Structure 1
């Protein structure tokens, strides 16, 4: 299908769909669960999702017109993982994208608190986000030997820990129709 935009405001490429689980919670907060307009339309036609909200942007083919979905919900509930994967990205997210030695957000890499050369393992409990300069300065030394103690003791985060941290880094673009479904479990201000 070739899409032609009938609304002058936006191109279809600027119209991703927020994907909600069947319980109307986002599949993930960070990265935010988004599908391209093509994937959203395909899921609609395959009867895998319900359209919850739409953009004003319309696409059409010779045989049909359709407003692009801005929010869709899965028809089948996907049980969220109970434990997050141990990945570089999730280590950075746990540590709020900040070097655990100096607090900078530039040139992030990761550091073994107890160096591998001294028996340190590559685990949640021994790896922290670190900027390149701090990582080089610490090298293969023990934290106490160089006075570089992580600001936060490394730990295995829960999915909720990562969701909570992910909310601190909202995407650059949030469509108005998404706001009712994002951060709905956040505390309300009095």
Structure 2
């Protein structure tokens, strides 16, 4: 039972936007307290919601191997829950790491526009560090070894080079950590895809 209670459950806000993943234990607690509803994906692609009593009745009518059995009843583990009193999408800062800079620049040299393996890319200060250039999203870009050597300790203008795009701090993609960190249930796909594709990228406006 313990392993079932630790199963991941996708959390939607009341606007049906994916905002989090919680344990089945937490999901059932929210369901029992009336703070959430279970969401079931029907074979025809539609979604049906259930409060705790309705979900209990459904669990009896349509048993599932992944169910929790108590002294008085048996209840299915929901794969998705809809939280009834939450309509915000949580904000999260993008960490300023080498990995995320490569992700932002898509492993592409920002001077010549060619794609490289990460081992063949450097991180370049657009305005050189020893000339006051900060180590920030707006001043660090991926650069191939050839372009990095050509630019040297100069600005792009001084080196007769041009950036293919202005470096900016990327916006957080809300469910990147879910797509990478959890084994998704098939019923999540619709909501995860929406979370991934519909997030505006670009400079944060917080």
Q: Give the TM-score normalised by the residue count of structure 2.
A: 0.55
C-alpha change, 1:96 and 1:59, in structure 2 (3 Å) is farther
> For 1:90 and 1:79, how far apart are their aligned partners in 2?
30
Aligned to 1:7: none
Matched, 1:121 2:134: yes
Instruction: Give the unaligned 5+ runs of structure 1.
Output: 5-10, 28-32
- TM-superposed deviation, 1:72: 0.8
Q: 1:174 aligns with which of 171, 184, 206?
A: 184
Kindly state the Cα deviation for residue 70 of structure 1 after the two structures are TM-superposed: 0.3
Size of the aligned set, in residue pairs, is 164
Q: CA deviation at 1:37?
A: 1.9
Alpha-carbon spacing, 1:143–1:49, altered in 2? closer, same or farther (3 Å): farther
**Deviation digits for residues 53-89 of structure 1 (CA, Å, limit 9, x no counterpart):** 38751122334422111001111124235x7524236
Q: Equivalents in 2 of 1:108, 1:173: separation in Å?
A: 31
The correspondence for 2:85, drawn from 76, 85, 103, is 76
1:94/1:157 contact within 8 Å kept: no
CA separation in 1, counterparts of 2:137 and 2:12? Answer: 29
1:51 is paired with a residue whose SS is strand
- SS state at 2:190 partner: coil
Question: Residues 70 and 153 (structure 1 numbering): CA distance in 2 closer, same or farther, change over 3 Å?
Answer: same
* Contact 2:125-2:139 within 8 A present in 1 as well: yes
Match of 1:21 among 13, 23, 42: 13
Check the 8 A contact 2:108/2:116 in 1, yes or no. Answer: yes
Alignment of 1:22-101 (within 5 A): 22-27=14-19, 33-53=20-40, 56-80=65-89, 85-88=93-96, 92=100, 95-96=103-104, 98-101=106-109
Gaps of 5+ in 2: 42-63, 110-114, 199-206
- Kept in 2, the 8 Å contact 1:91–1:127? The answer is no
Q: 1:183 aligns with which of 171, 189, 193?
A: 193
Q: Whole-Å Cα distance in 1 between the matches of residues 86 and 103 of structure 2?
A: 30
Instruction: Report the structure number with the largest CA radius of gyration.
Output: 2
Q: Give the TM-score normalised by the residue count of structure 1.
A: 0.58
1:93 offset after TM fit, Å?
7.5
What is the CA RMSD across the aligned residues, in angstroms? 4.5
